[in-house]
A and B are shown apart, each in its own frame.
Chain A
Amino acid sequence: MDRLTAAILLLLPLSAQAEATLSGFAQQNAAFNTVAANPDGQQHHKWLEERIRLKLDAGAGDWRLSLKGDIAYDHLGRQEETELREGYADYVAGNWDLRVGRQVVTWGLGDLVFVNDVWPKDHEAMFAGRPMEYLKRGVDAVKLSAYPEFASFELVASPEFRESRTPDSLRFHTGMPALATLKPRRGEAGVRVYRDIAGWDAALYLYRGYQRTPSVRSDGVFHYPELATFGASLSGRAGSGVLNLELARYDFSGIEAPPSQTRALAAWQTQPWEDFSLNLQYYVERDIRTNNTVGVRATQMFLHQTLRLSVYASHRLHDGDSFVNPELRYSFTDRLWGALGANLFDGTATGPFGQLSRDDNLYLQVRYEF
């Protein structure tokens, strides 16, 4: 702690020279159970909190510092009440740059399906009606980017694995809770190489680390199997829209490793009329079985883009496992917005969404930005 204080004192004169801005928001977020109580007996709320975000941006010369922290009051007493969402320093040089610290990394092109996006996510946030940005978790990493003429490179290396947050078994009906969880001791690394090829955005992805969500071993212990992935993506104009193609191979290793997997995505986004956009996607996951999932997102804006109605729907073809998320969002002023939406799950008890069919909820988000 003393060392931290000393570091802050050392940095103070520097920050006096730097340009710094402070911003943030105050937010109320509630999700109401519409079918059943939570497994822990909580009748009404899937989520209930007030939250303050503070964001500090400072820059001097080729350096930049960005800190995003949250303080929340959780009425259900089931989550951490302070969180460093992101906190990193950037150094920008001529044809390379460096980012060190907690940062969000997003790869690939899918809309709530993840082919090459191997980085930490918060699935609970998505199912409990929290704003979109909470879908991603930061990773504590060093990111080195280089931009030679022929391609751009992004190398992400983290000394410590950070898992995705899965729905809490006392909040969602996810089946048995973990007896014990074994966390990997080593870190992880990934490389993305990208460039333009004849008007298309092309990228290659390599990752070595661990599966982000736990698997259950035969002794009931949860673990994160070792994982190596390689994949590619292409994005470009096709007809009157944008075509996104993505492919990845997942190879697991270690004790009780899951079978290798191939993931593929084809998506097409278009704007058939003013302020309306439509994204259609087809996602295939293949290991010993093949799962085909169709997805759609339709978004219509009204009132000079201050009112937005959107629907996201995903449906697995062979077993009907499905997820629907309608949302209405309105900006009351330039600083105050609110959203009303629902998370609706359906399907068989073994499907990723079907198992949550008693967790349907209606959510409300209100945010004042400052």
Chain B
Amino acid sequence: MKRWIAILALLAPLSALALTGEEVMKKSQAAFYYPGKDFKARVLMKLVNKDGHERVREMTMLRKNAGEAGGDQKYFMVFFQPADVKDMSFMIHKYPARDDDRWMFIPAINMVKRIAAQDKRSSFVGSDFTYEDVSGRDIEDDTHAVERDEKVGARDCIVVKSTPKSGDADFGHKLTWVDKASFLPVKEEQFDRKGAPYKQFSADEVSDVKGRPTVVKRTMKNLQTGHRTEVAYLKTDYDLGIEDSLFSERFLRQPPRKWTD
């Protein structure tokens, strides 16, 4: 038995090497955007401009998977800061390979409205992260090729080059350093369509949450403007048993405190 484990352990890096770019990105998507049946975090975003001026966005983010990794998901967000968006809430029904459904609750006039959602590459609440950076980009939207193996710090990574199939993305191509052990992206470099460095993502801190390696601190930096966004995930948890009924107009209007604190 022990010998088998030793052989399997020897084979493991080989099997990672043998994966195609698309397979690596699928495993990375499952590890980064789909772990657990559901997920909760208090998200603290610091938007920092090139002069060092900071703005803070704070929200609770809840996610629930409909099924397997790569499938439908529901997201629910309630804002705490800044004051002019406090109590505003936001819901996304995310479907692979088609536009999401999005709803927003505006407390000032007590109104829920559906909002257009084809702009997946647009900024999430003014930060350097796009909606896709927050909830994942469809694997099928890019071609993926394994470039090389490379270490990032102590982590052995596979470097994957992803190139959008259509020309409507804001980046020309990107390189992702995927950790061979956890399949989390530890670094990502985006290049604009002229090939110049554009944005840089880094996973700054990875914690073990209920046995799942989780990126609890991350930064996205726009290399062309010098603006960056630092994100901390606080009170991160998985498999809380979030009901499907949470993702409804009722709770958009009255977010239940047991899920949002």
Contacts and interface: CB of A to CB of B under 8 A. Distances in A.
A304 B122 contact: no
A103 B125 CA distance: 28
Contact of A97 (B83, B118, B254, B257): B254
A270 interface: yes
B115 interface: yes
B254 A90 contact: yes
A163 B180 CA distance: 66
Interface stretch (B12-20, B66-74, B104-112, B205-213): B104-112
A135 B101 CA distance: 28
A355 B55 CA distance: 44
A337 B114 contact: no
A275 B123 contact: yes
A271 B84 CA distance: 23
B235 interface: no
B109 A104 contact: yes
Range for the number of chain B residues in contact with chain A: 35 or more
B113 interface: yes
Given A106-B109, A334-B83, A147 B250 contact: yes
B81 interface: yes
Contacts, number: 100
A334 B56 contact: yes
A199 B84 contact: no
28 contacts: A23-B83, A90-B254, A92-B254, A92-B256, A105-B110, A106-B111, A132-B109, A133-B108, A133-B109, A152-B249, A152-B250, A201-B114, A201-B249, A235-B114, A237-B101, A240-B99, A271-B117, A273-B119, A274-B121, A274-B123, A275-B122, A277-B116, A304-B47, A305-B123, A331-B55, A331-B84, A335-B82, A337-B84
Contacts of B109: 104, 106, 132-133, 135-136
B113 A271 contact: no
B218 interface: no
Contacts of A109: 113
A23 B86 CA distance: 10
A351 interface: no
B48 to A, nearest CB: 10
Report the 8 A-B pairs with minimum CB-CB distance, sorted nearest first. A305-B126, A369-B83, A133-B108, A334-B82, A304-B126, A274-B122, A106-B111, A104-B110
Given A97-B254, A145-B250, A306-B55, A270 B116 contact: yes
B190 interface: no
Contacts of A369: 82-84
A230 interface: no
A80 to B, nearest CB: 20
Nearest to B81: A334
A248 B1 CA distance: 74
B127 interface: yes
Nearest to B124: A305
Nearest to A134: B108
B227 interface: yes
Contacts of A347: none
B119 A274 contact: yes
Interface of A: 23, 25, 59, 90, 92, 97, 103-106, 109, 131-133, 135-136, 145, 147, 152, 194, 199, 201, 235-237, 240-242, 244, 269-271, 273-275, 277, 301, 304-306, 331, 333-335, 337, 367, 369-370
Given A92-B256, A274-B123, A370 B110 contact: no
A237 B99 CA distance: 9
A90 B250 CA distance: 13
A237 B101 CA distance: 8
Given A240-B116, A304-B47, A370 B123 contact: no
Contacts of B127: 304
Interface in B153-209: 170
A182 B82 CA distance: 44
A242 B113 CA distance: 10
Given A240-B99, A242-B115, 13 more contacts: A59-B257, A92-B256, A97-B254, A106-B110, A135-B109, A152-B249, A270-B118, A274-B121, A304-B227, A305-B126, A335-B82, A337-B84, A367-B84
A274 B109 CA distance: 25
A271 B118 contact: yes
B118 A240 contact: yes
Contacts of B56: 334
A237 B116 CA distance: 8
A2 to B, nearest CB: 34
A271 B111 contact: no
Contacts of A304: 47, 49, 55, 123, 126-127, 227
A92 B111 CA distance: 19
Contacts of A59: 257
Nearest to A138: B110
Contacts of A201: 114, 249
Contacts of A237: 99, 101, 117
A270 B111 CA distance: 19
A86 to B, nearest CB: 9
